[in-house]
Amino acid sequence: MSKISVDLAGNGYDILVEAGALEHVATHIMPFVSNKRVFIITDKNVADRWLLPITAKLKKSGLAISSHIVAAGERSKSWAGLEQLTDWLLDQGAERSDILIALGGGVIGDLTGFAASILKRGCQFIQIPTSLLAQVDSSVGGKTAINSRAGKNLIGRFNQPKYVLIDPLVLNSLPDRELRAGYAEVVKYGLINNPLFFEWCEQHGANLLRRDPDALSYAITQSVQTKASIVAEDEKELSGRRALLNLGHTFGHALEAETGYSSALVHGEAVAAGMALAYHYSVRRGHCTDAEAQRVTAHLDSVNLPHGLESAGVKASGETLIQHMLHDKKMTGGNLPFLLANGIGQTFLAPDVDLNDIAAFLDIAA
Ligand SMILES: NC(=O)c1ccc[n+]([C@@H]2O[C@H](COP(=O)([O-])OP(=O)(O)OC[C@H]3O[C@@H](n4cnc5c(N)ncnc54)[C@H](O)[C@@H]3O)[C@@H](O)[C@H]2O)c1
Ligand SMILES: [Zn+2]
């Protein structure tokens, strides 16, 4: 069991990582509940497996439960999904002093967190993330959003949860591909600033993907600690520190856009390929050695994650991919944030990347 604090003036919170924590879900969330009731927001897949046991435990502790189940998938993170959710909450008589529970993956966390930020000018929410990606990434840090016609996550707010309850055992029902995609974000934390953790991934990644509870707990704790400390230094992505979390994401975004954000390449897979490309581009720029980039590729390959254009199934030209990057929401003042590396666990924000050079690199990258 480990407890990690996100140190933020005024809106800090704790994250509990504990295998089996959901057995005692009522004890964990009770300190945050007023009005003796909670509103659970979840999706169909998660509801089928987890809603009943969790609801039963909360009811046993005397809480009234209302639950809202949305369709699984990115489409629920939309204006329509937000409208349905907020209308439902208002129909239920939700008040500002109530607390919402996001029980699900990143889609549910982002939608619920955003709804909480605007319901009656803001109520509280708790994250109970159920995908590996949500446990190591989206449930921590307070970014909430919905998608709009112009792109993903463009409408949203920073809104920190009151508490994050992570039970690695819920991952037992997560499909293998989703688990692997979430693992790409785990590897990311090693590559950002923790070479020893990357080494741990090389040794134990396969075990984690077999859902070994100890390996999962360890990796989730390491990941959350890194994210929490970076978020504490730069809550709203103002200083550039938080941008480190985007390692692999600018390249990855181009690959996702090229594959139409389809199931051909899910986010974590695109990030895996993007991280390998970032390392290989760092070699081209003389920042790190070829052996280091090959180490990244070899690990991703060993766990069946894409590690470049070919393995991601992308055939586009460098110029096409650059065009996708230019539509990335991370672009500011005509500049794109490229995260490059001086070595394993030594990621830095490169201010002066020439897009023509990136295009030339992508034309010859595998
Ligand atoms: N807020 C942030 O900081 C942040 C960071 C990264 C990603 N995101 C967002 O998160 C979303 C992606 O998150 P995700 O990968 O969790 O997607 P998701 O919420 O769509 O979950 C992936 C799939 O797994 C299913 N699922 C989740 N938990 C399950 C479980 N325990 N058992 C069975 N099935 C389960 C879901 O129903 C869904 O089909 C994207 O919308 C992305 O923009 C947000
Ligand atoms: Zn990501």
Residue 240: its pLDDT value, please? 86
The residue with greater pLDDT, 150 or 292, is: 292
DSSP string, 231-282: HHH-TTS-SSSGGGGGTTHHHHHHHHHHTTTSTTS-HHHHHHHHHHHHHHHH
Give 50 Cα–ligand 2 centroid separation in angstroms.
25
Q: How confident is the model at residue 328 (pLDDT cuts 50, 70, 90)?
A: confident
Domain definitions of the chain by residue range? 2-172, 176-364
Q: Does the pLDDT value for residue 329 go beyond 70?
A: no
Report whether residue 135 contacts ligand 1, using a CB cutoff of 6 Å: no
Which residue type is seen at 227? K
CATH topology of domain 176-364: Dehydroquinate synthase-like, alpha domain (1.20.1090)
Which atom from ligand 1 is nearest to the alpha carbon of 45?
37
Q: Which ligand is nearest to the CA of 272?
A: 2
Q: How far apart are CA 364 and CA 349, in angstroms?
A: 23
Q: How far apart are CA 141 and CA 190, in angstroms?
A: 18
Q: How confident is the model at residue 126 (pLDDT cuts 50, 70, 90)?
A: very high
Q: How confident is the model at residue 356 (pLDDT cuts 50, 70, 90)?
A: very high
Residue the block writes with tokens 């109520």: 123
Q: How confident is the model at residue 352 (pLDDT cuts 50, 70, 90)?
A: confident
Q: How confident is the model at residue 327 (pLDDT cuts 50, 70, 90)?
A: confident
pLDDT tens-digit readout, 261-286: 999 999 999 999 999 999 999 999 99
Supply the pTM of this predicted model: 0.97
Q: What is the mean pLDDT of residues 99-106?
A: 98
Could you list the active site residues?
Answer: 121, 143, 185, 227, 237, 242, 246, 249, 253, 267
Report whether residue 172 contacts ligand 1, using a CB cutoff of 6 Å: no
Is the domain spanning 2-172 CATH 3.60.150.10? The answer is: no
| The pair of three-digit structure tokens given for residue 15, joined into one six-digit string | 């994250």
Q: Which ligand is nearest to the CA of 252?
A: 2
Please give the mean pLDDT across all residues of the chain: 96
Give 276 Cα–ligand 2 centroid separation in angstroms.
14
Q: What is the mean pLDDT of residues 66-94?
A: 97
Q: How far apart are CA 342 and CA 57, in angstroms?
A: 49
pLDDT tens-digit readout, 195-252: 999 999 999 999 999 999 999 999 999 999 999 999 999 999 898 899 999 999 999 9
Q: Are 32 and 124 in contact (CB under 8 A)?
A: yes
